[in-house]
Structure 1
Amino acid sequence: MEDTILKELEPLPQISIWTSVSCCFAMAILYVGSLYVWGTKHNRDRDHPSTIKRRFASVSVVMGLASLFVYFFSSEELLERENFPVLLGLRWPGLWQAALIPYALTTLLFLGPIYVNIQNESIRSYLDLDYWRGSFNSIIWLRNLVMAPLSEEFVFRACMMPLILQSCSPLVAVFITPLFFGVAHLHHIAERLSLGVKLSTALLIGLFQFSYTTLFGFYSAFLFARTGHLIAPFLVHAFCNHMGLPDLQDLWQQDLWRRIIAIVLYIVGFIGWIFLLPYATAPYLYDNTLYWNV
């Protein structure tokens, strides 16, 4: 089935690498700039409700502007051949697969941390209706698990990837776009400095954040190209934001046997994720007839 689909497909029309990279750079600048467009008076505390609401508004505008970059700078041949929403990963075919399979694959990667959470009984809170009421009423929760993943994946994946894929091979595209994503997070260095954090500490944290956001960007870009859906990287991004980085201190606070089981699950989950990644993201599973050749 997969071979039949691939034979019927045509490669993407090409645009210059200068055009695609310039557009991506401009989108990254617009996204970061939108967080500070309100001025220092309204950006002193990133967790203040008024700051979050203003940033919700400004990144929403940037999402609209980013889609215009794709529309005006994509190849005319491609725009004639494909519906514009399809370029942005907004389509019905393969939607439920794109929502479920990459999410399930990513939970495998977090098998160890999930086991530790179960041991700490924190997972029981997910069965509490009050937990979900409180979450949806929390603007910080909405920022971290809804608006930030949605806006970042739309701008840095759904709008950048279609342009880069018209200039580079899929493998190169998957490695280029996350660099814009990682660099865009370096603005947190300035935020920490404004809060009185030492320069050396702010730089160290910024470098660490650049590293893991770029690594996640590789995975997210890969998911977008392989599935052809925005929903796949969006849900995975939201899940990763919820889980956070593995808490190794919490791991070592477990008793010996639970700690051994957790470490085994960390390793098994990681190996299983690597092994299943190419199979779980096979383009034919998602009716992906555009970004298929990754």
Structure 2
Amino acid sequence: MGLKEFRDDNACILSIIGCIFLTFCYVGSLYVWKSSLGRDHPTTIKRRFFSVFCMMLLAPFFAQLFLTEDTLARADVLEHMGLRMAGSLKAATFPLILTAILFLGPLTMQYFAGVLSIYLEPAYWWTIFHDLVWVRNHLMAPLSEEWVFRSCMVPMLMQCFDLMTAVFVGPLLFGIAHFHHLFEQVKAGVQFKSALFISLFQFLYTSLFGAYSAYLFITTGHFLAPLVAHIFCNHMGFPNFGEIFQFPPMERAIILWNLILGFALWCSLLPLATDPEFYDNKLYALET
């Protein structure tokens, strides 16, 4: 039996192993540099930028090894990884608008707090683009994570599972990949129980976001769709619902109403905003 025959006959198990391997490689690349410096130190950030950049270069070639002949016959590797022109402008805008609607409540909080006006200041953008922590959280992390965990892993998972199963299996690895923050928090002096609770909570919401991101990737057939959603979510952060009660009663009522309205609109618009035909996505049309 040749290599191609073995790969095609064992596509599912090999794809799962490949996804697990990529997960460990991605996390492991962050720790190849021996250093006592914290994760927010400029030297640490620059080294990790280089590490994940190397992972972004290597991951597609590795993923291609696990794609079967039947998978490659449907489309070329770049299209499977969400790199195509058709529908790209829609993929860069509508998923972003959809995600912003979900955050209607937190955006209302920012409006009442006067935060939204800061975004109109050129000095604000000049400052943040020179902040390596901001660049890591808002650009490099979403770019590298969506490329490795969505563009490279999802095509392998779609060989094994239907759409909804793939949507929830892959993000578990994405959530597990964030557990390395547990060790960094303990190293920084946080008590183990507190660090574990934080990591478990982070695992929960990163897994949920990963499922949403994977769904955007599969239904739109674009890398851009989950990328813009990821950047926006990282910018907003997990909503601090406790801050709602610090606002005056009328503003508080509006925020609570917009929280409910935003979620209801997001649920109702999700099928329309992720219709594969809208993005000229024929790759996974049959599975949707």
- Into which bin does the TM-score normalised by the smaller protein fall? over 0.9
Superposed displacement of residue 204, structure 1: 0.7
Cα distance in 2 between the residues matched to 1:205 and 1:107: 25
Equivalent residue for 2:125, pick from 120, 132, 151: 132
User: Within the alignment, does 1:227 sit opposite 2:220 as a pair?
Assistant: yes
Instruction: Give the aligned residue type for 2:61.
Output: L
Superposed displacement of residue 15, structure 1: 5.8
Cα distance in 2 between the residues matched to 1:83 and 1:206: 38
Kindly indicate whether the alpha-carbon contact (under 8 Å) linking 2:11 and 2:66 is maintained by their aligned counterparts in 1. no
Hey, what does 1:91 align to over in structure 2?
A: 84
Equivalent residue for 1:268, pick from 242, 261, 273: 261
Equivalent residue for 2:188, pick from 190, 195, 198: 195
Q: Could you say what the CA RMSD is over the residues aligned between the two structures, in angstroms? A: 1.3
Instruction: Give the aligned residue type for 1:131.
Output: Y
Hey, what does 1:9 align to over in structure 2?
A: none
**C-alpha distance 159-15 of structure 1, shift in aligned 2 (>3 A):** farther
Cα distance in 1 between the residues matched to 2:103 and 2:139: 20
**C-alpha distance 288-14 of structure 1, shift in aligned 2 (>3 A):** farther
Cα distance in 1 between the residues matched to 2:280 and 2:241: 39
Mapping of residues 74-89 of structure 1, within 5 Å: 74-89=67-82
Kindly indicate whether the alpha-carbon contact (under 8 Å) linking 2:71 and 2:159 is maintained by their aligned counterparts in 1. no
- Structure 2 gaps of 5+ residues are 1-7
Equivalent residue for 1:27, pick from 22, 28, 52: 22
Superposed displacement of residue 14, structure 1: 8.5
Identity, in percent, stands at 46
User: Within the alignment, does 1:148 sit opposite 2:147 as a pair?
Assistant: no
Instruction: Give the aligned residue type for 1:216.
Output: F
Equivalent residue for 1:210, pick from 177, 188, 203: 203
TM-score by length of 1: 0.93
Cα distance in 1 between the residues matched to 2:35 and 2:135: 23
Mapping of residues 240-255 of structure 1, within 5 Å: 240-255=233-248
Superposed displacement of residue 81, structure 1: 3.9
How many residue pairs get aligned? The number is 280
Cα distance in 1 between the residues matched to 2:76 and 2:239: 40
Hey, what does 1:6 align to over in structure 2?
A: none
Hey, what does 1:4 align to over in structure 2?
A: none
- Structure 1 gaps of 5+ residues are 1-12
Kindly indicate whether the alpha-carbon contact (under 8 Å) linking 1:15 and 1:74 is maintained by their aligned counterparts in 2. no
